[in-house]
Chains A and B, each alone.
Chain A
């Protein structure tokens, strides 16, 4: 093999950076001729800025971010693509133990059924508003994130107005559990291990999760500028081939211990491995006494399953419109279809046909 081509990737220390991390650490990127350099970042704003100015060739990004950047909804907006999905599921909604007690009094399901916990929290919110109590405060990691849309969908399905009946603020993921313990938040929606962190500390209770709200939905994507994708199509293709193998490796349960060890290490999450293993092994703890086996809580997969789909992109765009972050236009929607097009990934992996696109089905209250 000739000389390796360097690729610099920015990432946020979360479990779903696993595919990029494994591509580097287990050697899948190198097998494809790529010298992958990973740079840990402290905020999604930094990821966005450093991709825009070209410090990073590619990045671990919240799925809606390439859309927001392309549609000029954020600062330093540049046209982007989301050519590959890095993981499905992985988020959860956690509330303080005090709020959980109130929800239990309203009959909340202990196993995370979103319709039941949604009804319970709606009753708590209604009672609070009636007695003039302060609105509940929830945290999400970014306004343009699956977390924000999942939380809003769950609340709105229970007829809570997320913009009027509660307050939604933005906090970095690693600070969520502390903010909950300090009573600065009543709940939050975040990726792992930051739900488990509050459960382990005894300060939080998981009430529902992404996989229950929107099954098998994309959470993070590989984000690239269109400029870079056009200038380096072969490098991008090679990188995605390596990442596809890395994703299959991450999905193999026999590699969980090794993956847990790598991700919890000082270069990545730098945390207690016990916080990483529940989501990686699918043995989630929702609270002090409730555990649940959820193999698909957070799932990785290479091959056809990692191809983005235009329907997914459109759902994120619909949420931007629904929550007044964007105004609808057919031209913008056409852009979104382009951003989430599977064509680049299919070509790189030589996938002729993808399974036909499933319609997007989220939980709603009648599905109880």
Chain B
């Protein structure tokens, strides 16, 4: 089943763009085109003649895009920002998620809203994934730092691994700090003083 709506997704982030594309295709939109490059965008938009344009808010070219919609002869049909017509909740959800959408005039709101909702939920899912990945990276880095701090204590104080960890933990508790912060201080101090 095809929706008959062509959708242009402008996103520098290729992974996120693919996630949105997949979601839109699953929802029955066959005509989804991804654009990562802003060069020659006017031409591309004229060629593609999309009904809906989805763009990420990090893209510095939004001002150019909006200007193009206002004046360009290349864009055959007037395009307005979708959120103009939406309720304030949709507006906030889109801006919170970091996405904006533009639609040609005359497209019915109920046909477009699911597209924006899809983009918003996929943007949010992507942010969540990115954050989890970032957290995992930090956790790994933290564990390495704690291991180094333990190593320093084991060597300088002749402690066992468990005793070194207990000392770190006790120090952190006594100073109301996190173990990683104590470990970091120790690693830095040790680096400054020489092993």
Contact = CB atoms under 8 A, between A and B. Distances in A.
B193 to A, nearest CB: 30
**Majority secondary structure of chain A interface residues (helix, strand, loop or mixed):** loop
A43 B95 contact: no
Contact of B64 (A46, A49, A75, A172): A172
B119 to A, nearest CB: 15
Given A43-B59, A49-B95, A170 B67 contact: yes
B187 interface: no
Given A170-B63, A171-B64, A75 B70 contact: no
A102 interface: no
B139 interface: no
Interface residues of B, number: 23
Contacts, number: 62
A52 B90 CA distance: 13
Contact of A170 (B64, B83, B84): B64
Interface in A232-277: none
Interface string A304-323: 00000000000000000000
Given A76-B83, A143-B67, A172 B60 contact: yes
B32 interface: no
Contact of A75 (B61, B84, B92): B84
B179 interface: no
A75 B69 CA distance: 12
Given A76-B81, A76-B84, A172-B60, A45 B66 contact: yes
B70 A143 contact: yes
Interface in A62-76: 74-76
Interface residues on A, range: 20 to 34
A44 interface: yes
B34 interface: no
A321 to B, nearest CB: 16
B100 A49 contact: yes
B112 interface: no
B67 A75 contact: no
Interface string B81-101: 101100010011001100010
Interface in B53-81: 57-64, 66-68, 70-71, 80-81
Given A53-B91, A170-B67, A43 B80 contact: no
Contacts of A143: 67, 70-71
Contacts of B71: 143
Contact of B95 (A42, A53, A170): A53
A101 interface: no
B2 to A, nearest CB: 29
A170 B68 CA distance: 8
Interface in A46-60: 46, 49-50, 52-53, 55
A41 to B, nearest CB: 9
Contacts of A42: 57-60, 62
Contacts of A75: 66, 80-81, 83-84
B63 A43 contact: yes
A167 to B, nearest CB: 10
A74 B64 CA distance: 14
Contacts of A175: 60
A94 interface: no
Contacts of B88: 53
A74 B70 CA distance: 10
Given A142-B63, A172-B61, 7 more contacts: A53-B88, A53-B92, A74-B66, A75-B81, A76-B84, A169-B67, A175-B60
Closest 3 pairs (CB-CB, A-B)? A75-B81, A170-B67, A45-B62
26 contacts: A42-B59, A42-B60, A43-B57, A43-B60, A44-B63, A45-B100, A46-B62, A49-B83, A49-B95, A49-B100, A52-B91, A75-B80, A75-B81, A76-B84, A141-B63, A142-B67, A143-B67, A169-B67, A170-B64, A170-B66, A170-B67, A170-B68, A171-B61, A171-B64, A172-B61, A174-B60
